[in-house]
Structure 1
Amino acid sequence: MTFTRRREALRAMLAGSACLHPASTHDPLSARIAEGLGYELGMLAGSTASLAILGAPDHILITLGEFAEQARRVCRAAATLPILADADHGYGNALNAARTAQELEAAGIAGFSIEDTELPRPFGAAQPRLVGIAEGVGKVRAACEARMDRATCVFARTGAMSISGLEDCLERVRAYNASGADAIFLTGVTARAQLDAVAEAAALPLVLGTLSAEIRDNAYLASRGVRVALLGHAPSQAAAQAVHDALLALREGRPVGALPAKADWARWTREAEYEAEMARYLG
């Protein structure tokens, strides 16, 4: 499936009536596993990319080039799975956001978010801060206009709900309605009253980066225009724990715990496809 077709599939999801949960896919193998399990979407976050690339926490230490290259690997590994990307702040100002759009589109990403957090955190800032609304809108507009494939989706992302409060969040949502974005991505929304207010102000589909127990109900989320809701990044954390446990067991001379079945490993790595290509091309 071409990348344009995957982007069109994402657009159909945004235009639909259901709330979907993407798989957290931090590398090619996790993307293939998610695809095999029937996930409709994959998600490459800045935090999981930082772990995969640097083994470092999410402090905006990776570069655009590194992030785009990891995105390219993940997108290439999936046969049909649309991949979303958390492009953080677009790696700079509006011109950088435009470059980010071009690089992620070239990598095969179906959609990506540009957020209005002031990143990396400035000197002396004890808490996260947001850029001004005009700057945030300008970065989203630049990213939208830099697309070569009009099917590529751009999400305007804000963490205003937990940083500056409900009223500022609603003001930003209204501004992003007219930014050219295809959806509005929110973090920090934890209460139904908050989501109800956002849904009333939003003219675009919603994407949620946080799910509290109070709002974690798919029928309710769908009724409020939420089309994508993240479930965190447990797969990369579980993978790290599994590596630790296996290495520790080997170090201590103990048997390693349960390993994937041979059939599972062959399926995840698409061994049969490679065997067929070897027979076809190598004799």
Structure 2
Amino acid sequence: MLHSRLTAQAKRGAFRAALASGDLLRLPGAFNPLSALAITRAGFEGVYVSGAVLSADLALPDIGLTTLTEVSRRAGEIARVTDLPALVDADTGFGEPLNTARTIQVLEDAGLAGCHIEDQVNPKRCGHLDGKSVVPLPDALRRIRAAADARRDPDFVICARTDVRALEGLGAALDRARALADAGADMIFPEALANAAEFEAMRKAVDVPILANMTEFGKSTLLTTETLRDVGVNVVIYPVTLLRLAMGAVTEALSVLAADGTQAALVERMQTRGELYDLLGYADYAKFDTTVFSHAYREQ
């Protein structure tokens, strides 16, 4: 009810422990706080906040147009409602290394369990599109060192994303991942790896946890959780899955409403009022209210 029952520090500690367990953590992407509640109830191990989803929610393309204020506010709203750890996409850190340092502290204050910082050049592009560029390795390392030096909670997870694979090949991605881990990254996010064999090679290349991005319509084969576990992946994100499904339903519903002049044919496919109230914990709020306030009028 209201906020998570756990403090941000407790969620970060739990995330650290889960990463150290060696098991695979599944983090679907939440497009709002309500979807984060659904992810929690469905039994997943964490929540992901995608930069692409946040941009799309603002009707903007994912090319670095969002600000730290927008990202931290929305990510904090999502982290607030769930006992699960929330990992957020912090793009390139929203500026130079000093900006990256501030980004980490702002995201800590917002209640996030961790974030990933990427090595693309600004303005960035979606990691599964062509035409992107990466900064030289020394610049990428400065971003990660700034992030690691700025955090105040040692359990806040700093994940380094590299987009080198699509530009220079797997070997270059492995070399950069090693350097990023040495610079202080707690986890490596190798973007746009092609298949299970490449994830297995990345697993062998670094000693820190690795993250797999199973986004639809991208360059990576959509691998099952069983396969990802077998090759040693620690975290898998499904960043845009729920938003794509939701917007597909929205688009179809608008077509039906325009054609039929009524939503009657759609009602059976909707989440019911009762189901929504159950997800929100509506009864818990009503019960709490009766313990602190009586609506009965009493004349004084």
Give yes or no for TM over 0.5. yes
Quick one: which of 133, 144, 149 aligns to 2:148?
Answer: 144
Distance in 2, matches of 1:249 and 1:278, equals 40
1:206–1:228 CA contact under 8 A, matched in 2: yes
Q: Which residue of 1 aligns with 2:91?
A: 88
Amino acid at match of 2:243: S
Superposed displacement of residue 121, structure 1: 4.3
Q: Which residue of 1 aligns with 2:231?
A: 224
In structure 2, the residue corresponding to 1:21 is in which secondary structure?
strand
Quick one: which of 222, 240, 246 aligns to 1:233?
Answer: 240
2:192–2:220 CA contact under 8 A, matched in 1: no
Largest Rg, 1 or 2: 2
Superposed displacement of residue 82, structure 1: 0.9
Quick one: which of 132, 136, 140 aligns to 1:132?
Answer: 136
Q: Give 1:14-93 correspondences, 5 Å limit.
A: 14-52=19-57, 54-78=58-82, 80-93=83-96
Matched, 1:113 2:116: yes
Shift in alpha-carbon separation, 1:281–1:241, aligned structure 2, 3 A:
farther
In structure 2, the residue corresponding to 1:22 is in which secondary structure?
strand
Matched, 1:9 2:9: no
Superposed displacement of residue 232, structure 1: 4.0
In structure 1, the residue corresponding to 2:277 is in which secondary structure?
helix
Matched, 1:281 2:292: yes
TM-score (norm 1): 0.91
1:187–1:210 CA contact under 8 A, matched in 2: no
In structure 1, the residue corresponding to 2:88 is in which secondary structure?
strand
Distance in 1, matches of 2:63 and 2:100, equals 18
Distance in 1, matches of 2:249 and 2:290, equals 34
Instruction: Give CA-to-partner distance per residue, 1:16-74, whole Å, 9 cap, x none.
Output: 1222221210111011111111111000010011122x122212111110010001111
In structure 1, the residue corresponding to 2:23 is in which secondary structure?
coil
TM-score (norm 2): 0.86
Q: Give 1:252-267 correspondences, 5 Å limit.
A: 252=259, 253-256=261-264, 257=266, 258-267=269-278
Q: Provide structure 2 residue ranges, at least 5 long, that are not aligned to the other structure.
A: 1-5, 295-300
Matched, 1:268 2:275: no
Q: Which residue of 2 aligns with 1:195?
A: 199
Quick one: which of 141, 154, 162 aligns to 1:158?
Answer: 162
Q: Give 1:234-253 correspondences, 5 Å limit.
A: 234-252=241-259, 253=261
2:16–2:157 CA contact under 8 A, matched in 1: yes
Amino acid at match of 1:203: D
In structure 1, the residue corresponding to 2:25 is in which secondary structure?
coil
Superposed displacement of residue 275, structure 1: 1.3
Superposed displacement of residue 282, structure 1: 3.3
Amino acid at match of 2:279: W
When the two structures are aligned, how many residues end up with a matched partner?
278
Superposed displacement of residue 204, structure 1: 0.7
- Percent identity between matched residues is 31
Distance in 2, matches of 1:46 and 1:110, equals 16
Q: Provide structure 1 residue ranges, at least 5 long, that are not aligned to the other structure.
A: none
Q: Which residue of 1 aligns with 2:182?
A: 178
Shift in alpha-carbon separation, 1:242–1:221, aligned structure 2, 3 A:
closer
Superposed displacement of residue 268, structure 1: 1.7
Amino acid at match of 2:289: M
In structure 2, the residue corresponding to 1:112 is in which secondary structure?
strand
Distance in 1, matches of 2:17 and 2:231, equals 17
Distance in 1, matches of 2:214 and 2:190, equals 8
2:24–2:235 CA contact under 8 A, matched in 1: yes
Distance in 2, matches of 1:173 and 1:22, equals 22
